[in-house]
Homo-oligomer: A and B are copies of this chain.
Amino acid sequence: MQALLFDVYGTVVDWRASVLDELRALGRARSLAVDWEAFLAAWKGCYTPGLERVNRGEVPWMTVEQIYHEGLARLLPEHGVTGLSDADVEHLVRVWWRLRPWPDAVPGLARLRTRHVIGPLSNASFAGMVRLARFAGLPWDCIITAENAGLYKPRPEVYRTAVSLLGLNPGQVMLVAAHNYDLRAAQAEGMPTAFVPRPTEYGPRQATDLVPDGAWDVVAQDFLDLARALET
């Protein structure tokens, strides 16, 4: 395997716990009585419809930050949050650049990097992935995101653009993801696949992506387990 590309939100970083911590800290600082779990569920709920509008061509390219900013502008007053400045809102949108990696992620990536080119293949913005890598210490060789294709996963153009930028054939580039839909799209493009479940990505009652639902080439417990599997 020449290169490994990684989904990031959920697969590499624990976005839910990280964002919840910041929302709750904001609530304490401003004495806001908000159900932040429900707020985050609604906010994260803007993501897929936003991407789909871009993929259907209903709107020109929008970064996830723009999608989350739009969502926030609607959700804050709905949840009774008022009085935030534009700078406060911008800071809150950029919480998606301040996410904690799962405990195995950084040591696993460092080990995988000794044998493979590694990079994200995320629906994040390019700038967002650059900032997240600096925040979380992710030792990527390069950053590739949906923004490089102008479309969002699971559109095949995203995987094709990444393989082309790496100067490789699809069979030389493995996608690593905690989400079956992403692996399915990569496999359809001829890429090898590794499923690394993250059973608490959506919290303690997560019901999706607990098990592989396709013929993935590797199923690993975490990134260190993935490294061991690829070394044998």
B-facing residues in A26-41 (Cβ within 8 Å): none
Expressed in whole angstroms, the minimum distance between the Cβ of A156 and any Cβ of chain B is 19
Is A167 a contact partner of B117 (Cβ separation < 8 A)?
no
Task: Tell me the nearest residue of chain B to A65, going by C-beta.
Answer: B167
- Determine if A193 is an interface residue (Cβ-Cβ < 8 Å): no
Q: State the majority secondary structure of interface residues on A.
A: helix
Q: Cα distance A134–B133 when bound, in Å?
A: 17
B-facing residues in A99-147 (Cβ within 8 Å): 117, 125-131, 133-134, 140-143, 147
- Determine if A63 is an interface residue (Cβ-Cβ < 8 Å): yes
Is B167 a contact partner of A63 (Cβ separation < 8 A)?
yes
- Determine if A166 is an interface residue (Cβ-Cβ < 8 Å): yes
Q: Which of B117, B125, B133 contacts A130 (CB 8 A)?
A: B117
Is A126 a contact partner of B147 (Cβ separation < 8 A)?
no
Q: Cα distance A82–B117 when bound, in Å?
A: 34
Task: Tell me the nearest residue of chain B to A126, going by C-beta.
Answer: B165
**Contact flags A136-170 to B (C-beta < 8 A → 1, else 0):** 00001111000110000000000000000111100
Q: Cα distance A128–B165 when bound, in Å?
A: 10
Chain B residues positioned under 8 Å from A129 (CB to CB):
142
Is B63 a contact partner of A130 (Cβ separation < 8 A)?
no
Is A134 a contact partner of B141 (Cβ separation < 8 A)?
yes
**Contact flags A58-78 to B (C-beta < 8 A → 1, else 0):** 000001010000000000000
